Amino acid sequence: MGLRELSDVLFPGIELRIARLHVAGRTLFVDAVGTGPPGRCPDCGNAARRVHSRYWRRLADRPVGGREVLVRLRVRRFLCDISMCRRRTFVEQIEGFTRSHSQSSVAMRDLVRFVAVELGGRPGERLCRRLALAGRRTSLIRLLSAPVVPARAPRILGVDDFAFRRGHTYGTVLVDVEQGKPFDVLPDRSSETLLAWLEAHPGAEVICRDRATGYTRAIKQAATGAIEVADRWHLLQNLSAVVEKTCHQHRSCLRKHAQERAQPDAPVPDTWVPDQPAALPKSAIVERTLHRHADILDLSDKGWTISAIARRLGMDRKTVRHFRDTDLAVLIESARHRRTGLLAPFHSYLQARFFNGCTDASRLFREFASADSGARFRRSADTSRLFETALPYPHRRRFRAPARSRPGSCVAVSR
């Protein structure tokens, strides 16, 4: 393949002619010369007629065959013959290949920008190193630029806060609800910042927001005439909090109804035997436990070390040692407990004791720990809390009252 054909492959549609190729290590050096017409002055637009000088320009291009490509481009510097123009000389730019003061080609710059947008600084730098791209962490970050925000706000504007650093720094994200895309980001969540943005970007007809008073104050002061609605997530959250608080306040009525259905007058047996759970079907976690145990034992029988098995299976060394030294039946039982809970065989007894007046989870825990039932429970706060969560109506839980809505505010569900 001649140099002319190589030009069509490496630089398709670009007015370049390859003069020489040279490979050194993992780098492909390409000497090229522009073949296009003389350029125009970037200030006055006058076509150049005289050449001032020539020099070599170095640009990084897209990799070829896993090798970095470095182009040495012979460019011309022209004279501007317009006496009224402030620029005396200018350098030619190859359309579709070079840009002013750029050290990489247009295609290379676009490719690296895609990596920066998807991965960012350090991860993008590691990927560029693998793909033989010229991109460092700082140069990748410099390629990122904020998109231009339109002068008018979208018709349906979503307003919500988010955390730059949870518990310390928060901002405000503005969303175009109709398109489902972010519109702009504000540096904080104060009412003054949102008020200034609304005054500079009119056009919002519906504003979908949460229940924050700062956002409400900013929308009222902006006097945009937009309809305020509550977004679906916060509306359902507030509704669930109100229902939960109401059920807690009427716990006695609910308990009375449950006692009538459960027949609380039935005597509690003196000798209690836990229910035997039915054989459970193989779930996903049980299947995963079986496969992991078989793989670990197979590699261990072949003489693999724990560290080698952990690297091969992508697991922690402690987990590998636990699977190797523990019986399969114990592993499967532990996996089933994670699915059904340790208290599944004891639910009937717990409900009977609860409806007969014993609502103290700690007392029930002591009864289980001292009973000769074959069940093994450790005396810990975590196990005691399991008993409290197994009760029908955990009376120790406290509910926070939902915030009251402001008078005259419109609450609706946005679709």
Q: Between residues 279 and 14, which one has the greater pLDDT? A: 14
Report d(CA 26, CA 23) in Å as an integer.
7
- Find, among 55, 61, 54, 56, the residue nearest to 6 by Cα: 61
pTM for the full model? 0.43
Question: Does the pLDDT of residue 390 top 70, yes or no?
Answer: no
| pLDDT band at residue 276 using 50, 70 and 90 as cut-offs | very low
Model confidence pLDDT, tens digit, residues 323-376:
998 888 888 777 765 544 556 566 667 767 766 767 676 777 777 666 544 444
Q: Output the CA angle 247-253-254, nearest 5 degrees.
A: 60
pLDDT at 394: 44
Cα separations in angstroms, 353 against 90, 95, 247, 413: 92, 84, 22, 43
Model confidence pLDDT, tens digit, residues 53-78:
999 999 989 888 888 889 999 999 99
Report d(CA 256, CA 355) in Å as an integer.
9
Surface-to-core class of residue 153, CB atoms within 10 Å of its CB (0-12 exposed, 13-18 middle, 19+ buried): buried
Describe the strand order of the beta sheet including 227-230 as a list of residue ranges.
181-186, 169-176, 156-165, 206-209, 227-230
- Find, among 133, 127, 136, the residue nearest to 69 by Cα: 133
Q: b vs e for 269-282, b when ≥16 Cβ sit within 10 Å of the residue's Cβ?
A: eeebebeeeeeeee
Report d(CA 208, CA 414) in Å as an integer.
7
pLDDT at 345: 62
Question: Letter for the amino acid at 249?
Answer: Q
H-run or E-run covering 175: strand 169-176
